[in-house]
Structure formats: C-alpha cells, structure tokens
Amino acid sequence: MISPGLRRRYSGESESVCMPTQAVPLRSLRSLQRAQRACTRCADAGFIARAHPVFSGHAGQHILLVGQAPGPVEHDQSRPFAGRAGRQLMRWLVRGGFRDEDDVRDRIYMTAMTTCFPGRRPDGAGDRRPGAAEVALCAPWLDGVLALLRPRLILPIGSLALERFLPGQRLDSVIGAAYTVNGVPIHGAPHGSPVLVPLPHPSGQSRWLNDPARLALLDRALLTLREMVAWADPGG
C-alpha cells in the first residue's frame, strides 16, 4: 500500500503530512540515492552481515518496479535482477511491451522492499525472505522514491511487494489486472496515476507458477502490462 501520506500527496493534499516516517533526503532523487547507498540500518540492527543497497534508475522514469530483495548475484554485480530470476523477469517484461532488457532498464526504476541482500536461509534452501522489521527499516527509502519519482505505473513483484501496495490481497486474486492505489480494478484507460500492475515473483523458489491456471493469469497480466506501459510511457 502507498502510505496514507503519500496517497494524500498524489491526491494533491497538504505536503506536510507526506514525509516518510524516518528522515530521508527529499531534495532530489539523486540525493536520496546517495544517502540510500550509504545506509547501514539493517547491518547496525544485526539483520544482515553487510549493507550493500542495490537499486537502479533515475528521475524522469515513469515506471517503478518493486521486488522483494536482491539476491547474491545482484549483490555482487550491484545491479537489480541480474541473476536467473532477473532473466525470467526480462522475458516477461518483453512480452509486456518492452523491446529488450536494455529498454527495460532504460525505462524502469528498479528497487525492492529491502534493497540489501538478506542472506541465505538457515537451511540453505534459497535466499532468506526479509522480515517485517527489515521491511520497516527500508520503507522510508521506498516512500522517498515514490514521492520524488511520482511514477505513473508501479509493478509490485511477488507477495512481499504486493502486501505493501495491495495489503491483504493474494497473488491468485489480483494477478491479471490493473488497479488504482485503493485496490479498485481498472477497466479501460486509467483516470489517474499511479496504476498498479502486480506480477508474481520470477524466482525458481516461488512455486506459484507451478499451475497452468496461474500461467494463464500471468498471460493476462502481461497483456494488461502492455496496455499500461503504452499509457504510462507512450514515448518510450
């Protein structure tokens, strides 16, 4: 969910209530990025061994993609969605209206619910899902990006990002359509922005796609995405 303050900001109400809950620089996206790259909150709190925030993008982009958290490949390359899940995501996004991976990275600001690699699961079976406390520590950075970028289109990727933007909803019930920030399905051309188009997480760890009915939902989501990309970024 977009925080109440940010929703008021999008609807043109008082800016004083729109500040993120912890101080982050809101002068410019570039100053926010500088400060975010220096952030060590989760390492200081003992959640991760070393902070290394990974995100990409710049002012002027109209589309914001919010994943769960970087993995080890993204951590090593300092590049969002650089690993196997990223390759799958790029294939989906090409089906959703982008020319190729370069076009995706040119036109989409990429960040995550937590922007540092959370480490492996204790049992070694994949990457650890960030906990609520880590998500809360990182939320002001995402709030700041939303306030400064003011994206027309937001792509929550996977269930953790879905909980932020469409709280209480399940992937099964929302994948395949576009929504207002209040969770109302959009039919036809949107009347305002931002518009949400949720997608499942492309990671092989996710079992969500092991079902033909869900693959059909993904097909619908990518058709919806194609329409919304053309609306949000027609000159792209």
Of 32 and 63, nearer to ligand SF4 (C-beta) is: 32
Strand ranges inside the chain, DSSP E: 63-67, 108-112, 153-156, 178-179, 185-186, 195-196
- Considering only CA atoms, which of 141, 218, 181, 129 is closest in space to residue 7? 181
Stretch that binds ligand SF4, among 2-10, 136-144, 200-208, 218-226 (CB under 6 A): 136-144
Of 43 and 94, nearer to ligand SF4 (C-beta) is: 43
41 forms part of the interface with ligand SF4 (CB under 6 A): yes
51 forms part of the interface with ligand SF4 (CB under 6 A): yes
Of 139 and 171, nearer to ligand SF4 (C-beta) is: 139
* Smallest distance, ligand SF4 to C-beta of residue 199, A: 22
Q: Quick check: 7 and 18 in contact, CB under 8 A?
A: no
Residues 78-117 within binding reach of ligand SF4 (CB under 6 A): 114-116
- Given its phi and psi angles, is residue 168 left (phi above 0), alpha (psi -120 to 50 degrees) or beta? left
* Smallest distance, ligand SF4 to C-beta of residue 129, A: 13
36 forms part of the interface with ligand SF4 (CB under 6 A): yes
> Measured in Å, how far apart are the chain's first and last C-alpha atoms?
27
Q: In the β-sheet with 195-196, what is the strand arrangement from edge to edge? A: 108-112, 63-67, 153-156, 195-196, 178-179, 185-186
Of 116 and 148, nearer to ligand SF4 (C-beta) is: 116
Pairing of β 185-186 and β 178-179? antiparallel
Binding site for ligand SF4 (CB under 6 A): 36, 39-43, 51, 53, 114-116, 134, 137-138, 141
